[in-house]
Amino acid sequence: MFYTVCMEQQLCDNEMGIKRYPFHFSAPMIAVFIAGILLCITGVIITTWRVFTYLADGVVTTYDWLSFGLFYLVSVLFAVLLIAMLIRSQYIITDKQIILQFGLIKTKYEIKDIFSIHRFQGENKLAVYFDDFKTKYAVIVVKDIWYDDFVKTLISRKPGLSFSFSTAEEEEQYKHDNDRRHKK
């Protein structure tokens, strides 16, 4: 019975049209991921070299074996985490939730808790504002050509959702007004 319920639920989810939007990482961020992966590979190579060096000397203690194992474990774990973040970072919109999948880490936001969506055209950002005090807002990090589709998908999941946008001039005026208020 449980299997049948799960299968029916999967079919219902697919009928609702689960939408996926991959993260859009900047070039410096991709460079950081690649540098991290290269450091992990370097860690494995250096640890392997140390293992062979210690074996050639003939004196290997239990502490040495534990340190080798720990270095291998940490290097491989970080490499897996970085590769997962690089390959599998996305937003998944279901009929009830926005799921932020950042590699192996998932964060779920309820669509019913979304208060409004705002597009900052000057900053070229999309922000989703929530009703609860814990979350407040989230900036959506997808390609800017997907912003419209992302907003349409959210509005189709929660009709009546407020959407607004601001121009670059409005944003600049707002910053200018805030700067004047803080100087007084």
- DSSP string for residues in 83-127: HHHHHSEEEEE-SSEEEEEETTEEEEEEGGGEEEEEEETTTTEEE
On whether residue 159 sits in a domain, the answer given is yes
**H runs (alpha helix) in the chain:** 2-16, 27-57, 62-87, 147-157, 168-183
On whether residue 69 sits in a domain, the answer given is no
On whether residue 117 sits in a domain, the answer given is yes
On whether residue 146 sits in a domain, the answer given is yes
On whether residue 33 sits in a domain, the answer given is no
CA distance 44 to 25: 27
On whether residue 152 sits in a domain, the answer given is yes
CA distance 144 to 156: 19
Residue 118 sits in a domain whose CATH number is 3.30.720
On whether residue 54 sits in a domain, the answer given is no
pTM exceeds cut of 0.85:
no
On whether residue 84 sits in a domain, the answer given is no
**Strand 19-22 relative to strand 89-93, pairing:** antiparallel
How many domains would you assign to the chain?
Answer: 1
CA distance 39 to 81: 13
Range of the domain at 137: 110-183
What is the pLDDT tens value at each position of the chain, 184 positions in all? 333 333 344 434 444 578 999 988 999 999 999 999 999 999 999 999 999 998 888 877 889 899 999 999 999 999 999 999 999 999 999 989 999 999 889 999 899 988 889 888 888 888 899 887 666 888 898 888 898 999 999 999 988 888 888 887 776 776 666 666 556 5
